[in-house]
Chains A and B, each alone.
Chain A
């Protein structure tokens, strides 16, 4: 049952600009469903979806679960700990066993780059990548792009800078693919030890100084700086990171224009972002979370073979 996105959503890299726009356009009517008192439409009634999370996740897993439930799908959550995975079962065996129970879709989060694709090539069900290693996190990038589009309209020529640990970030990779496809100018800014040294080949500009990035950009997408990176010796200390690369109110005050501030969460307040920015008037961080549910509803709907033009009807409960 391949819809306009194909069988699976494995990343943003394989999508065309039109496919990205289709998801964003489809998400808009779905967003309204979550505003209702009765937040449910029968679109995916009878469909069974497994949320297969091999890595800890709160926001993404709950967001997918809400999206599935609001479309009336039956959902099961599987976490790696306490499952057969902890008994040494391979990824492909786990998936085949689930599929033998006649499921329709798998949402997978896994620590290995390529894991979602690996799964998709071996099972019939639709596979949605909810984050694979340091490769891609496509629904996060889609919700980021929807949030930016809410603010800017067309993204052509808009300047988006991704700040922080790009080397280990699947969010960064998916955003770079998506934003460049939509015609935005993309830059990255962070410690050189946390940027891939072939990053320019991905079509982005590199800023060494956060001040330069702020002067250039229309929006900053601020990545989480994980404590493990300091422990692994990529940066000297979180303190120095905040002093050199932290997005602070004082720095933003010097910007030539109001910057839109995104963060995929969870935030380390006082490290990559200060509270006055996170909670400030230009932060769209909670809009991102709201849009996350709508984008995931759109992806589920389109992968299930839903017709884009029927999204409005689906909203009314007729599809």
Chain B
């Protein structure tokens, strides 16, 4: 079964259409029909029987995509399912996600890839594109069956949650994946430096008496993988960058024409290690929150395009698992329902990026880099649209999340910028 499509025409009327894939920034209408974009721009008539969204004063953008989420199914359906994660996504204005393969069992074969994909289609909310693992069992030893997983619907490969420690295995993966035109995504972390750490190594870790993770644990893998991409010609995608040094290294790689792309999480462009003070386990993630200098460099990296994508690393955990001693609590926070608000508040409204840049980083480039459908409102493309109000204020109340996870450091924060209509396949799947 495929993702369902809208049975009626949908006219999104009078919004400001921002679609960097076509260089479009204009006030006009968008018409969706039979699951695809029928027309985009200008004043369109209302077809008989069409549903109409009045988008006056709102932004109409190609549907947002988040290539880095953890949906926990199969294995930890108590903390998230594909369906609850897809619901969370559309509540945040996100029409498609890529689900990381650190499930139980690991998504390292075509059967699990097919299962995750089907669960996404059954949920019929955001589109769910499975990641496959790079190595069997994410053990970092043997290359997983990448070709078969591609046939089953995997769109990219990663051992995320841990790094590929063997440089030889990473080299092989980059070479092997070239034939299938899929990115290899790396969780950059030198475990010999990072092991036992639970926050950024710096002033705050010295004060709190917590073992720190130095920036170099990430940066050593960033440059290693860039060099391996240079050697192999493969496409390395660097996950959740958190340090100034990483931004500089990616910039170095891109200047040399190396096939490297990069992403940053909304928490890393908005929060610093200070959020950990008081042993707040909802500020514990990997990579950890860093310093103000890092935050600024990451924001600049988004502004100048060194960092391509704004993602969440959405990582639901059970309340009991976070309600414990800091060093023993698991890493990660949920993010799908806060990312647009965070990105508008900390990047757009501070003048660091423009609206077209925001749409590019949350939609167009996600589709382009991961070779996904969407990311555009060009005629004939899939009818995934995010209609949002960059100026609408709202206060984060984790109890209202559609995700099963409540683990967020943003509870009580007020953001400016919110999704109003989330449209997938021409169907309105969320309204706020």
Residues of A within 8 A of B (CB): 13, 90-92, 110, 112-115, 117-118, 132-136, 170, 173, 196-199, 201-202
Taking A112-B326, A114-B279, A115-B325 as contacts, is the C-beta distance between A202 and B209 under 8 angstroms?
A: no
* Residue B45 interfacial (CB < 8 Å): no
Residue among B208, B323, B324 making CB contact with A113, cutoff 8 Å: B208
Distance between Cα atoms of A45 and B210 in the complex (Å): 38
* Residue B205 interfacial (CB < 8 Å): yes
> Contact at A133–B202, with CB atoms within 8 Å?
no
> Contact at B208–A135, with CB atoms within 8 Å?
yes
Taking A90-B320, A133-B209, A136-B209 as contacts, is the C-beta distance between A113 and B327 under 8 angstroms?
A: yes
From residue A113, how far is it (CB to closest CB) to chain B in Å? 4
Taking A90-B320, A173-B209 as contacts, is the C-beta distance between A197 and B326 under 8 angstroms?
A: no
| Besides A117-B279, A118-B325, A198-B205, 9 other A-B contacts (C-beta < 8 A) | A92-B324, A113-B327, A118-B279, A118-B324, A173-B209, A196-B206, A201-B203, A201-B206, A201-B207
Taking A114-B279, A118-B279 as contacts, is the C-beta distance between A198 and B203 under 8 angstroms?
A: yes
From residue B273, how far is it (CB to closest CB) to chain A in Å? 11
Task: Return chain B residues, CB-CB under 8 Å to A110.
Answer: 325
> Contact at B325–A134, with CB atoms within 8 Å?
no
Residues of B within 8 A of A (CB): 201-203, 205-211, 278-279, 320, 323-328
Chain B residue with the shortest CB-CB distance to A54: B325
> Contact at B323–A202, with CB atoms within 8 Å?
no
Distance between Cα atoms of A118 and B208 in the complex (Å): 13
> Contact at B205–A196, with CB atoms within 8 Å?
yes
From residue A122, how far is it (CB to closest CB) to chain B in Å? 9
Task: Return chain B residues, CB-CB under 8 Å to A170.
Answer: 209
From residue A112, how far is it (CB to closest CB) to chain B in Å? 3
Chain A residue with the shortest CB-CB distance to B278: A117
> Contact at B324–A134, with CB atoms within 8 Å?
no
Task: Return chain B residues, CB-CB under 8 Å to A91.
Answer: 324-325
Task: Return chain A residues, CB-CB under 8 Å to B202.
Answer: 198
Task: Return chain A residues, CB-CB under 8 Å to B279.
Answer: 113-114, 117-118
> Contact at B325–A112, with CB atoms within 8 Å?
yes
From residue B267, how far is it (CB to closest CB) to chain A in Å? 20
Most buried by A among B202, B203, B205, B325: B325
Tell me what chain A mostly uses at the interface: helix, strand, loop, or mixed: mixed
From residue B45, how far is it (CB to closest CB) to chain A in Å? 61
Distance between Cα atoms of A13 and B278 in the complex (Å): 12
Chain A residue with the shortest CB-CB distance to B280: A114
What 5 A-B pairs are tightest by C-beta distance, nearest first? A114-B279, A135-B209, A112-B325, A196-B206, A134-B209
Distance between Cα atoms of A92 and B328 in the complex (Å): 13
Chain A residue with the shortest CB-CB distance to B210: A113
Chain B residue with the shortest CB-CB distance to A117: B279
Task: Return chain A residues, CB-CB under 8 Å to B278.
Answer: 117
Residue among A117, A133, A136, A198 making CB contact with B206, cutoff 8 Å: A198
> Contact at B323–A92, with CB atoms within 8 Å?
yes
Task: Return chain A residues, CB-CB under 8 Å to B327.
Answer: 112-114, 133
From residue A195, how far is it (CB to closest CB) to chain B in Å? 9
Taking A91-B325, A92-B324 as contacts, is the C-beta distance between A197 and B207 under 8 angstroms?
A: no
Distance between Cα atoms of A92 and B205 in the complex (Å): 24
> Contact at A114–B208, with CB atoms within 8 Å?
yes
Distance between Cα atoms of A22 and B368 in the complex (Å): 66
From residue B202, how far is it (CB to closest CB) to chain A in Å? 5
> Contact at A134–B207, with CB atoms within 8 Å?
no
Residue among B201, B207, B210, B324 making CB contact with A202, cutoff 8 Å: B207
**25 A-B interface contacts by CB (under 8 A):** A90-B323, A90-B324, A92-B323, A92-B324, A112-B325, A112-B326, A112-B327, A113-B208, A113-B209, A113-B279, A113-B326, A114-B210, A132-B209, A133-B209, A133-B210, A134-B209, A134-B210, A135-B208, A136-B209, A170-B209, A173-B207, A196-B206, A198-B205, A199-B206, A201-B207
From residue A186, how far is it (CB to closest CB) to chain B in Å? 14
From residue A12, how far is it (CB to closest CB) to chain B in Å? 12
Distance between Cα atoms of A92 and B325 in the complex (Å): 9
Distance between Cα atoms of A92 and B319 in the complex (Å): 13
Distance between Cα atoms of A274 and B320 in the complex (Å): 48
Distance between Cα atoms of A91 and B326 in the complex (Å): 12
From residue A50, how far is it (CB to closest CB) to chain B in Å? 18
Taking A92-B323, A198-B202 as contacts, is the C-beta distance between A112 and B328 under 8 angstroms?
A: yes
Distance between Cα atoms of A62 and B413 in the complex (Å): 46
From residue B217, how far is it (CB to closest CB) to chain A in Å? 14
Chain B residue with the shortest CB-CB distance to A173: B209
Task: Return chain B residues, CB-CB under 8 Å to A90.
Answer: 320, 323-324
Distance between Cα atoms of A13 and B207 in the complex (Å): 9
From residue A150, how far is it (CB to closest CB) to chain B in Å? 28
Distance between Cα atoms of A112 and B279 in the complex (Å): 10
Task: Return chain A residues, CB-CB under 8 Å to B209.
Answer: 113, 132-136, 170, 173
Chain A residue with the shortest CB-CB distance to B320: A90
From residue B280, how far is it (CB to closest CB) to chain A in Å? 9
Task: Return chain B residues, CB-CB under 8 Å to A134.
Answer: 209-211
From residue A221, how far is it (CB to closest CB) to chain B in Å? 17
Task: Return chain B residues, CB-CB under 8 Å to A132.
Answer: 209
Distance between Cα atoms of A170 and B327 in the complex (Å): 15
Task: Return chain B residues, CB-CB under 8 Å to A115.
Answer: 325
> Contact at B206–A202, with CB atoms within 8 Å?
yes
Distance between Cα atoms of A296 and B200 in the complex (Å): 34
